[in-house]
Structure 1
Amino acid sequence: MSTTAAPGRVILLLVALLAGCTGGHDDPPPVHRAAVTLPPSPAVLDYQLGTAYPPPAGVTLVARDSTASPAPGVHNVCYVNGFQTQPQERELWLTQRRHLILKDSGGEPVIDPEWPDELLLDTSAPSNRDELARITGESITRCADRGFQSVEIDNLDSYTRSGDRLTIDHNLAYAALLSARTHDRGLPIGQKNSAEVSRRAHDEVGFDFAVTEECHAFSECSAYTEVYGAQVMDIEYTDNLRGTFAEVCADPATPKTTTLRDRKLVGPDNAAYAFQHC
């Protein structure tokens, strides 16, 4: 039997080898990572998205909206609504950026049913994702310029409210652009909720830590800690606890950085205010 390969077979072998070296067409792009300083962990977290106020004694980690200023003397996480519009900017998006809003079959904007003042962003096309990343990148830049040390991006799960008009692949591709912009400013970026895609969010997008609401209430904390280890911040709410808060903290599955807050995240001068930590 001859050991000399036919010319056609040689060409096929070379093509196969080259394809193996360069990767298939569907391989994700390399994750944009940078040397960043992660939030302290474990930490005493105060989640102040509703109202910014002086943190209680002992707090070492604070999350605030991108329109607020960071709290002095602690690590500050800047909240950015990356996949939906903020209520106060609704008209701006409807009039000047309507082409970037997701539409239903009748051409009407798709809204978040739990937050009807928030419109879903259309991440389905690369051109949209690029333009949205430039707009949201302005908020990320504002976070960095104001002195925030980390960024969390909310509503990665908007595709679940899109009526199948968006996919997780659309949102992860867009999140990767936001991750690159955040890392370019020297800040770590956090995945917000969406437990079911934590592994892909970390590996493909480059998220550095996770922020989760009610992972204990919904029995999904391990989906984050198995990926991010101790770099998980959990916020539980008084109106939806699974057991007492003491039992929540005693559960080995609960992240060490876990805080109890009131649902509307009001300030201490409001009767509904609640704040405890594990």
Structure 2
Amino acid sequence: MPASHALRRRRSWAAAALAASALVATGIVTNTQSSASAAEPALPEPGVGFDYQIGGPYDPPSGTEVVSRDRTATPASGLYNICYINAFQVQPGEDDDWPDDLLLRDADGEVVIDPDWDEALLDIGTPEKRERVAERVNAWTDGCADKGFDAIEPDNYDSYTRSQDLLSAEDAKAFAKLLSDHAHERGLAAAQKNTVELADSRDETGLDFAVAEECGQWKECGDYADAFDDHVVVVEYTDEGLNDACASHGDTLSIVRRDMDVTTPDSGAYVHRTC
């Protein structure tokens, strides 16, 4: 797969950072301590215009305030930018970029593949492997932060459900915590991508808001809204899903209908609709 309260939170973060800087200057705390204590990342404002551009960047439609783009792209000027990262699986064609032992393997030694996207699953089944995978993924987060993104969207959180029972929800949550902790250290928020069954695990994962695909289609938008205090951006891929999401949460959540391949406007398949 291709790669608020926001103003109040930004002001709050800026004030905390300023205060921490003063403490650093007086020698009361170290730079490391100030970074950890001051980092309160901004979240996307609930219910504003949203566009999902992980298939390729383009000028956001009028009214867009939040946009999600692939980590290889540049943030959209003046908007809240979410950086898409394929964190739990391997982009097609990039298997050789990973050590063999970090690709999840079955009892026969064969790499476990997500059948929907033809992507190898990463092995996050032990603390040591989680740390090693996170080191690589967190380097991508560093790139997102350096470019000026506001948040990361680590995709395939639910890959444990396609792991032939080799990975567990606990593995996924522990790995997500490593990613969210690092994002927070860089001043970025971290999104939960789908996986509604783990939406109530925020205390364990440190995830800040949700990117929910087809929650209208599957009648799940309310579960995400409750778990993340309406800090949810929704992507629907059918008119039915868009209509259901808009009818139930059109006034409170950020909702967009895109084409399944998330194409750019120069594509004949491009679809972009809102409530």
Pick the TM interval, shorter chain.
0.7 to 0.9
TM-score by length of 1: 0.82
Give the TM-score of the pair, scaled to structure 2. 0.83
Compute the displacement of 1:248 (Å): 3.8
Q: Is it true that 1:267 corresponds to 2:273 in the alignment?
A: no
- Give 1:256 deviation, angstroms: 2.2
Q: Map residues 185-264 of structure 1 onto 2, 5 A cutoff.
A: 185-200=186-201, 202-238=202-238, 241-242=239-240, 245-252=242-249, 256-264=253-261
In 1: Cα distance, 2:273 partner to 2:221 partner? 19
Deviation of the 1:258 alpha carbon = 0.6
Instruction: Label 1:248 to 1:198 Cα distance change in 2 as closer, same or farther (>3 A).
Output: closer
Q: Look up the SS of the partner of 2:133 in the other structure.
A: helix
Structure 1 unaligned regions, length at least 5: 1-31
> Residues 81-106 of structure 1, C-alpha deviation per residue, up to 9 Å, x if partnerless?
1100112422322xxx1110100111
What are the equivalent positions in structure 2 for 1:78-227 lying under 5 Å apart? 78-93=83-98, 97-116=99-118, 118-200=119-201, 202-227=202-227
Alpha-carbon separation, structure 2, partners of 1:195 and 1:168:
12
**Per the alignment, in what secondary structure is the counterpart of residue 115 of structure 1?**
coil
Match of 1:55 in 2: 60
Structure with higher Rg: it is: 1
CA contact (8 A) 1:46 1:61 kept: yes
Is the 1:70–1:148 Cα contact (8 Å) retained in structure 2? yes
Assess if the C-alpha contact under 8 Å between 1:196 and 1:223 holds in 2: no
Going from structure 1 to structure 2, the CA distance change for 1:248 and 1:226 (only over 3 Å counts) comes to closer
| Cα distance between partner residues in 1 of 2:132 and 2:244 | 45
Are the equivalent residues in 2 in contact too, given 1:233–1:255 (CA < 8 A)? Answer: no
Cα deviations by residue, 1:157-204 (Å, 9 ceiling, x for unpaired)? 11100011000001111111111100000111100000011011x111
Asked if the contact 1:232/1:257 (under 8 Å) is kept, the reply is yes
CA shift in 2, pair 1:114/1:255, >3 Å? farther
CA separation in 1, counterparts of 2:143 and 2:250? 35
Question: Does the 8 Å CA contact 1:221/1:253 hold for their aligned counterparts?
Answer: no
After superposition, the C-alpha distances for 1:27-69 in whole angstroms (9 at most, x for unaligned) are xxxxx98411111222111100111111111111110011111
Asked if the contact 1:248–1:254 (Cα under 8 Å) also holds between the matched residues in 2, the reply is no
Shift, 1:152, TM fit: 1.1
Unaligned runs of 5+ in 2: 1-35
Please provide the CA RMSD for this pair: 1.7
Map Cα deviations across residues 250-277 of structure 1 (whole Å, 9 max, x no partner): 2248852110000001111111101011
CA contact (8 A) 1:110 1:162 kept: yes
Which amino acid in 1 is paired with 2:74? S
* Separation in structure 2 between the aligned mates of residue 172 and residue 189 of structure 1, nearest angstrom: 13
Amino acid at match of 1:185: R
